[in-house]
Amino acid sequence: MSNVQGVVVKVSGPLVVARGLENARMYEMVRVGEGRLFGEIIEIRSGDCSIQVYEETEGIGPGQPVFRTEEALSVELGPGLIRSIYDGVQRPLDKLHASFGEYIVRGAESPALDRSVQWDFVPVAKVGDTVSHGDILGEVDESKLVSHKIMVPYGVEGKVSRIAPVTGNVDTVVAVIDTSKGPVDISMVQRWPVRKPRPVAKKMPPVQPMTTGQRVLDMFFPLTQGGTACVPGPFGSGKTVVQHQLAKWANAQIVVYVGCGERGNEMTDVLQEFPALIDPKTGEPLMERTVLIANTSNMPVAAREASVFTGITIAEYFRDMGYSVALMADSTSRWAEAMREMSGRLEEMPGEEGYPAYLSSRIASFYERAGNVICKGSDERNGTLSIIGAVSPPGGDFSEPVVQATLRVVKVFWGLDDKLAFARHFPAINWLTSYSLYQEVVDALANEKLQQPWKENRSQAMSILQREAELDELVRLVGMDALPQSDRLLLQAAKMIREDFLHQNAFDDRDTYTSMEKQFKMLDLILTYFNEARPALEAGALLNSLLSLKVLEDIARAKLIEENALHQFDAIKDKLTREIAALPR
Ligand code: ADP
Ligand code: MG
């Protein structure tokens, strides 16, 4: 740490103004006061630096020293990230808890990557190889589920002059690269400034679906690997459950979960719940492929502001290894509120609802870091980073600035609805207002992979739901009995789509996940019913008989059919056809 000192001239909550920090730059980290609290310069105005401090500033006052670090707010990247639980500026929460008790001691320093852990480095590159940024030098088994690639850091290029298997902590030198400026030691750890996207060789449009096993999402509002989605909803509508379901079931290899505590105890829940989650695909704890970033509500707002950037940088680093990574942020509203608070203290000109004018661009700068990319490195490996952000607008009002700014950048909108949640229809995703701009990509792939009319069925089902919404209006005005029989049959089909298909219980072992194949079969049963009952009705079959077929119970229970017993769908379909054919007309 440099000795160049400034001095505090003013303190306003988490914001400290210092003078005399010569040549300091925007976003440089500094240490404030005798206690050396962490802070970041967020504004420089005629020599005065405004510093957001990541810790309680009680006791800091004018006259106290400020030290430069000459480094931007950065994260440590290397083996040990997986399974970690960090605060917004990558301090290990579990370690700090263990060493300092319940409350984090200010200025407490504990390295992000534990130096007491030994890792086995296995080389992939050889002596004599010419390498540059992103090339994989070797691998470390980081957890039961993750092989950590040790990559050539940014700005290093040359010939490998030494590399060998070695066991040691992250600081151990694993390779030496001869560069034009001389030999460079490469360890297992590198650093990266969080506000700067990690470079990639090439960014491409997302082309692979991100399956989630959640029927309403995969069928109607699909996400892609490298895509972006927003889950806005009022309190209690199911945002956190959606995020947890995705963490468990989405086909992503690495999960980075950024929790910004909604209620006082909610992060404590996350800290207890998340480590208890089991990865359904492997039976191992989900933490074996997860990095958790937690902001409890008693942590300073500035750390919360930084946390999404800390999270996305860690996520990019795993993407750079060639993994599919999913980042969930729950909830980004708390992040935006942190921005608002800091902006207010800086006395900036407020924009809409007191949020800073740069709210939109800051939100965009986060979501724009998602993507399907060719990573740096000569093997041109593919990596993806998907972002799913929850938003909790006050009163569930989607016209509010954070939802609106998010919708401008994301490609998928899963709108949670308090009426559905109140009626216990979960996931409470409103099928009339939600959308996905990736639908065509996923339709085409699903049609091809399943060799079934996925797209055709999906659009027929959606038009039935849309027609239901129109008819609902009519029913309210004139009553059900006034409707033509064909419309009443349609309402029956719509009800089946809602209750037997869309409704999905996250907490039922058989219902919590549905493969694409099973999703297709489930919806196909309902549509077959509708498409066969309609001509039967026209030919004179009784509506009441059609509405009370025995097979409808089988269709309602089809969601519980095990994934390895999908042949049962054929039997139900046969029964359906037989029952309709047997009706007198
Ligand atoms: P939010 O994060 O929006 O405040 P939560 O995700 O905590 O809301 O959900 C609130 C409650 O709704 C959950 O505790 C659960 O009881 C219920 N719930 C939400 N989604 C589902 C689901 N898919 N299946 C069953 N219950 C759900
Ligand atoms: Mg929640």
Whether 85 is covered by a domain: the verdict is no
Whether 79 is covered by a domain: the verdict is no
- State whether 393 and 302 are in the same domain: yes
Whether 195 is covered by a domain: the verdict is no
Q: Which ligand is nearest to the CA of 418?
A: 1
Residue burial 260-281, b: 16+ Cβ < 10 Å; e: rest: bbbeeebbeebbeebeebebee
Inter-CA distances, 518 with 29, 108, 214, 242, 442, Å: 52, 51, 11, 20, 16
How far, in Å, CA of 576 to CA of 535, rounded?
A: 14
- State whether 260 and 323 are in the same domain: yes
* pLDDT band of 448, cuts 50, 70, 90: confident
| pLDDT tens, position by position, 370-426 | 999 999 999 999 999 999 999 999 888 999 999 999 999 999 999 999 999 999 999
Helix (H) or strand (E) holding 15: strand 15-19
pLDDT tops 90 at residue 103: no
| pLDDT tens, position by position, 142-173 | 999 999 999 999 999 999 999 999 999 999 99
- State whether 352 and 240 are in the same domain: yes
- Measured in degrees and rounded to the nearest 5, phi and psi for residue 433 equal -105, -20
- State whether 228 and 370 are in the same domain: yes
Query: What is the distance in A from the centroid of ligand 2 to the CA of 268?
Result: 12
- State whether 488 and 547 are in the same domain: yes
pLDDT value for 267: 61
| pLDDT tens, position by position, 434-444 | 999 999 989 98
Question: Where does a domain end: 189, 212, 246?
Answer: 189
* pLDDT band of 99, cuts 50, 70, 90: low
CATH number of the domain bearing residue 503: 1.10.1140.10
Q: What is the average pLDDT score of the chain?
A: 92
- State whether 336 and 403 are in the same domain: yes
The DSSP output letter for 190 is: E
Whether 108 is covered by a domain: the verdict is no
Residue 379: CB atoms within 10 A of its CB come to: 12
Question: Where does a domain end: 189, 218, 233?
Answer: 189
Query: What is the distance in A from the centroid of ligand 2 to the CA of 239?
Result: 5
Q: Is 540 helix (H, G, I), strand (E, B) or coil?
A: coil
Whether 221 is covered by a domain: the verdict is yes
- State whether 305 and 407 are in the same domain: yes
CATH number of the domain bearing residue 183: 2.40.50.100
Q: What is the mean pLDDT of residues 256-277?
A: 74
| pLDDT tens, position by position, 484-526 | 999 999 999 999 999 999 999 999 999 999 999 999 999 999 9
- State whether 58 and 155 are in the same domain: no
With a 6 Å cutoff on the Cβ, whether 269 touches ligand 1 is no
* pLDDT band of 449, cuts 50, 70, 90: confident
Q: Which ligand is nearest to the CA of 511?
A: 1
With a 6 Å cutoff on the Cβ, whether 507 touches ligand 1 is yes
With a 6 Å cutoff on the Cβ, whether 237 touches ligand 1 is yes
Query: What is the distance in A from the centroid of ligand 1 to the CA of 416?
Result: 11
Whether 238 is covered by a domain: the verdict is yes
Q: Are 579 and 551 in contact (CB under 8 A)?
A: yes
- State whether 179 and 215 are in the same domain: no
Query: What is the distance in A from the centroid of ligand 1 to the CA of 424?
Result: 9
Whether 446 is covered by a domain: the verdict is no
- State whether 171 and 219 are in the same domain: no
Query: What is the distance in A from the centroid of ligand 1 to the CA of 236?
Result: 6
CATH number of the domain bearing residue 241: 3.40.50.300
| pLDDT tens, position by position, 336-346 | 998 998 888 88
- State whether 259 and 179 are in the same domain: no
Whether 194 is covered by a domain: the verdict is no
Q: Which domain holds residue 225?
A: 202-436
Query: What is the distance in A from the centroid of ligand 1 to the CA of 578?
Result: 39
Q: Kindly give the number of the ligand 1 atom that is closest to the alpha carbon of 505.
A: 24
The DSSP output letter for 251 is: S
With a 6 Å cutoff on the Cβ, whether 238 touches ligand 1 is yes
Q: Is 300 helix (H, G, I), strand (E, B) or coil?
A: coil
Question: Where does a domain end: 161, 189, 217?
Answer: 189
Query: What is the distance in A from the centroid of ligand 2 to the CA of 131?
Result: 45
Q: How many domains does the chain have?
A: 4
With a 6 Å cutoff on the Cβ, whether 236 touches ligand 1 is yes
| Residue whose CB lies within 8 A of the most ligand 1 atoms, among 263, 388, 426, 505, for a mutation test | 426
Q: Which ligand is nearest to the CA of 246?
A: 1
| pLDDT tens, position by position, 23-59 | 899 889 999 998 889 899 989 988 899 999 988 888 8
- State whether 250 and 360 are in the same domain: yes
With a 6 Å cutoff on the Cβ, whether 506 touches ligand 1 is yes
How far, in Å, CA of 127 to CA of 162, rounded?
A: 6
pLDDT value for 303: 82
CATH number of the domain bearing residue 18: 2.40.30.20
pLDDT value for 297: 66
